[in-house]
Amino acid sequence: MEHPNATLMRKVDEALLAGDFPGFLALHTEDAVMHVPGSGPLSGDHVGRDGIAAVFQQEMSMLDAPPEIVPLDDLGSDDHAAAVLIQRMQRAGRSYEGLQVVIARVRDGQLSEIWFRPQDQAEFDEFLA
């Protein structure tokens, strides 16, 4: 049987894939913090559902089309959820494809703190620069 926090992360993936952004945000606590690593324009700590929505809107404004995610695995423990996925993006005629790990702290059945780790941080930053 799948751990409930793995199921939670699968619901996060499914909401993004379906374009259900309100449903995606509802899976996060009101005070969630999303940590985006690196030195690119999306890097930093994005606080609350509004902050998370803002960084996703900023990403969308930079891309030629919505990013594509290919979920490979969703994992869960009593305190955390994780996803392994492939992310594909198009920007100004250039393409990016990379493996990404998302790790999240879970509180009361929602994601409360999220960390992204692209396979190659320098390549990810260069693509978004």
Tally the domains of the chain: 1
Find the angle CA(80)-CA(55)-CA(10) to the nearest 5 degrees: 35
Q: Say if residue 1's pLDDT is above 90.
A: no
Query: Could you list the residue range(s) of the whole structural domain that residue 60 is in?
Result: 4-128
For the chain, the average pLDDT equals 96
Is residue 90 within 8 A of residue 1, CB to CB? The reply is: no
Mean pLDDT score, 6-11: 98
**pLDDT per residue over 64-97, tens digit each?**
999 999 999 999 999 999 999 999 999 999 999 9
CATH number of the domain where residue 20 is located: 3.10.450.50
54: Cα separation from own chain's centroid: 13
Residue 21 amino acid letter: F
**pLDDT per residue over 90-122, tens digit each?**
999 999 999 999 999 999 999 999 999 999 999
Q: What's the predicted TM-score (pTM) here? A: 0.93
Non-local (6+) Cβ contacts of 109 within 8 A are 4, 8
